[in-house]
Amino acid sequence: MRRPFDRRRVKATVFRAVSKERLNDALCLHDAGRFQGAIYLCGYALECELKYCVCRFRQTERMEEGEAKRLGHQLTELLGAAGMANLLASKRDLLEAFHKIEETWSTEIRYSGAVASKKESDTFLKDCRALLLWLRTEQKP
């Protein structure tokens, strides 16, 4: 049994590592024609990268697991908590990509029987990869 003072703390670098792994998983799913799964995992990669950015913005090496859960899956809120919203607002193409991702991605995808097309997956992965690259450039290790 876990005691309240034994709160699990996740290293910021774990969020980044998970982001990279889920992106690789998404690319494998995409290549295998599993487009809905690719979209879900790619969105999750973006979520994890944003949680890494939140840690960097707060100048902390770790985040309590409960805090990570409270921050949740809302990409706009994560972007704001990471102090990146104003920076992104000045990048018109990336901001548009971010809004398209937000409209498409949610955790409910994992419970959906919907099927995405190759074109939808191509577009989503392209937009996500551009945002991930930008975030990683802005938040150097």
* Rounded distance between C-alpha atoms, residue 107 and residue 9, angstroms: 23
User: With helix as H, strand as E and coil as C, how does the chain read?
Assistant: CCCHHHCCEEEHHHHHHHHHHHHHHHHHHHHCCCHHHHHHHHHHHHHHHHHHHHHHHHCCCEEEHHHHHHHCCCHHHHHHHCCCHHHHHCCHHHHHHHHHHHHHCCHHHHHCCCCCCHHHHHHHHHHHHHHHHHHHHHCCC
At 5, the pLDDT band (50, 70, 90 cuts) reads very low
One-letter amino acid at 4 equals P
The count of other CB atoms within 10 Å of the CB of residue 51 is 25
pLDDT digits (tens, 9 = 90+) for 13-53: 999 999 999 999 999 999 999 999 999 999 999 999 999 99
CA proximity to 17, closest of 6, 7, 25 = 25
Is residue 57 predicted with pLDDT exceeding 60?
Answer: yes
Chain-wide mean pLDDT for the chain?
Answer: 91
* Rounded distance between C-alpha atoms, residue 117 and residue 91, angstroms: 28
> With contact defined as beta carbons under 8 Å apart, do 19 and 132 qualify?
yes
Is the pLDDT higher at 70 or at 126? 126
Q: What average pLDDT does the segment 66-86 reach?
A: 91
- pTM, rounded to two decimals: 0.90
Is residue 120 predicted with pLDDT exceeding 80?
Answer: yes
Is residue 75 predicted with pLDDT exceeding 70?
Answer: yes
Q: Topology of 8-138 in CATH?
A: Four Helix Bundle (Hemerythrin (Met), subunit A) (1.20.120)
Rg (CA), the chain: 15
